[in-house]
Structure 1
């Protein structure tokens, strides 16, 4: 996952996400998530860890932090991202023998679980996960085709 491939994946993922959202009314976990997950298809453990961090972030914010602080809108979104980043950092520190795939969650990937958690909060688990899988798969297939033709 290097510069140009990342940019191409995010743009293709954003376009497919926008088309999917317009057609169905369901947001597939944000515009940049599909492109990032499409790049991680060859690292399934990374995707699994990212989804687990997303669910854990959602549960901590909705059933923990939201009971102590008034959260709505951007505050809640920031809380989701912050909790996801903290969980990712703690996992990296506390578990020194994590598989290599865990450390692929860097850069933009650190905020992706927070974005997914926010969409779970807004639309529900099933809608978010199903739409994210569909759009990420379509992005991967288009990216694979693009790389086969142009690279």
Structure 2
């Protein structure tokens, strides 16, 4: 038994040489392309609310231009006054009230634009008519 025990405890005489290429895993070469994993799309719950981005127009430039050039000035002045309130509502994150006020302002500005365009057109035709009448009277055609 002493021989058997002595063989068990013998050390290995030749060391094993490891190279870096031996440590790398060799992958089998497949010519097949793997399909990429698709992103899973989960369905929203039935009782969820869709959130839409809120864009609220302030209409400051439109109101300022109408105040300067429009014949009907009541609406644009009111809209200019309300722009400060609208900005304050947006700053306080009261988006529903701000959106309602913006819609009211745009309605008033559209009506003011229409009324102003009609007034300026009427003023233009009246002035042209008066000029033509004056020219006709001066040349004694009338």
Does the pair score TM above 0.5? no
TM bucket normalised to smaller: under 0.3
Give the TM-score of the pair, scaled to structure 2.
0.23
Give the TM-score of the pair, scaled to structure 1.
0.22
